[in-house]
Structure 1
């Protein structure tokens, strides 16, 4: 006489068939499980969408900037190393002369080869970054850097205008990302990137927040930070995205604010 399955002892880990067992590769889920799982999945999706929207609404992207990624231009002008690395060149649009801040490729400031050419006419290939009235150029192809003779007339830098002694409070940013390379290029979400950029020699800036005249919009102005003597400012890159207080002499360089920084400290609230 043959034994039936019910006569064998049941293993303690055996699954009892109640008509609701489901394996992921099966084409259909049992109706009993589907009635439970479907509303849970819908609820989780709604919660995730709402959470994502809430987080996104709290992020500050900053003023719109433009990074001409993939567009490499031939640039020819006079390079000045202090107080900020600057290329003075003919205005390609309106005539006269314009000034572009200069940074290296990636998360780096200018290379030593360019710094050694201060006061000389140079040529190189780079990519523009611009926001508002400020323009920066990335030395995208370092191998293209070549000296090209003495400075031609008409490319002298205008003398800076001294505004006076100031004490300013704002967010420490790396200006390359803030001007348009990253979005957002400020705030805690961008802090890791900003720390590496500042460590690599990208010029630091102080983001001052203020309201528009009608009070309806939050605006931001970046003050470029340099040392009191015009040399690159020494600071702790880990202060990126935190609130700092800077004291020094404020100057206007062609309409761009520059602070010759005498003292820098981290605000307690940070």
Structure 2
């Protein structure tokens, strides 16, 4: 009777000496079994191949946007699917640039020779549009855009009128972004030679009240050339 009581396991008491050896052997056996299952699963699993989602630094690619059946960028050295961040496609972003040659910015998703481009969110991306002087375009002059207004817009920019970038949203409505220099100051001298012309602008968007500001990257404005 005493021996049976000594070998009875109670969770909140010390393990009886007669059970310690068997429990150690069972624990070791379970560990070895788990290792064996893990090794077997690794050996039997299908090799996923070399794949990479490169989130280290954004990159840029240039090509022509096509929309059907899915948005792609036809580059000089291949064609890449376009997607947005998260679980979103890029149709709404790509539609305004259909059949246009553009430069996009994003992260590479690759497997072997296949490349998918994950576009950056609209707060940190490349935009195509026209730089205008805000006073004339918002109502002081008609027309307040295009080459016919270039000379007037240049005088306004030289006079300190805030420069404005107008781009087109996917639904066709205009979007206005006040341009800010890379150091956070005024951008007039940086853009004066490019007003009234199609441009590619790279920078980051922020808000000040209801106003949207686009803080330019260094060297982030360039004239679009006809192709």
Pairwise TM-score range, normalised by the shorter structure = 0.3 to 0.5
Q: Which structure is richer in relative contact order (CA contacts within 8 A, separation 6 or more)?
A: 1
* Bigger Rg, which one: 2
Which structure's residues are more often helix, by fraction? 2
After TM superposition, the score normalised by the length of structure 2 is 0.46
After TM superposition, the score normalised by the length of structure 1 is 0.40
